[in-house]
Copies of this chain bind each other. A is one copy, B any other.
């Protein structure tokens, strides 16, 4: 009685992956400050040493370290202060044994100086003489040339997700423009005679459109620009024309609803007609999310995805099929996962990958995952969930106390 010739989720990913790799990873040069959360499309090497001078990490006196040996709280060593280094300026005047120079935090050490004494361990004794109450080792409180980053070094590798600190690291070597992978643009089309936009009043057996909102929010989360978001009546011609228009300016067209095997199932037919690949996958052995369709058009370079009409299934398949394939291709590692212990047994759907919603709690310093059940149309099951656990196709279920990987929403 199996009416759909279903793919596993891995097979479905495998069918769209070569197209995504070939057509959708465009690179773009951006100012580093615009690169947050993007993925690096180049290896970043440095052409300078950081720091490019010997830098003090404290406010205090640059000294010849051997001069301070034996100094202590009670028995100071006296040094002659021969000058002061201004922050940002070159320290030209060299010192010799018995002499010192004031250097502020971040300032350059003078030639011959090889340690810093913190000002807290000193006391001015006369106008040009300072008492040192500390014995400092060689290179104490000094950052060496190239200690943070050496000239020619690989600073950041291609495929790195850019966080605030990566932007800081690029700034530190004076790199102002960087090559990143461009975010993919999306069109969202929800179909169904039963859908009402939320500015309307409920009537008959109509329901408010949910998928447009959740998919818009997910695209915003991933910073994917939205080309259009529309709610359409069930009308094959209208759907076809709208998708065709969207293919002209979008990298991904998401069509939600109209994908189950019912009388009004036209998405598959339309996607098959519009995409050069024809329909690649029609039905995935996953729960929820079975009625999912994929296709790729090589002429317009567009990934076409028919998502289930059920809001929970639509959100989950967008994550596990579309986003995970795109991000894996960029070498972006899965970041939002947490190890947890199952609180109860969970039975999986036979012959299908199961996406089990869970809520998390901390018990004695350990995360515990509790399954959340609900019919897949019920959006509130998702608001109670912190994430989901993937139960593989051939796994019969999860056992109480089993360690699982929770994918966090």
A residues neighboring B (CB under 8 Å):
1, 3, 32-33, 36-37, 48, 50-53, 55, 57, 59, 85-91, 102, 104-108, 119-121, 143, 147-149, 155-156, 163-176, 192-196, 198-202, 204-218, 220-221, 234, 260-264, 309, 311, 315, 335, 338-339, 365-367, 374-380, 382-383, 385, 403, 405, 408-409
Contacts and interface: CB of A to CB of B under 8 A. Distances in A.
B165 A383 contact: yes
A167 B205 contact: no
Given A48-B202, A221-B36, A409-B163, A315 B213 contact: no
Nearest to A142: B375
A156 B383 CA distance: 8
Contacts of A385: 165
B205 A168 contact: no
Contacts of A263: 59, 102, 104
Nearest to A408: B335
A365 B378 contact: no
How many identical chains are in the complex? Answer: 2
Contacts of A120: 1, 3, 261
Contact of A173 (B208, B209, B376, B403): B208
B164 A260 contact: no
A239 to B, nearest CB: 15
A309 to B, nearest CB: 7
Given A57-B375, A87-B194, A339-B365, 10 more contacts: A59-B261, A59-B263, A87-B192, A88-B192, A88-B206, A91-B205, A102-B263, A106-B377, A163-B409, A335-B408
A395 to B, nearest CB: 14
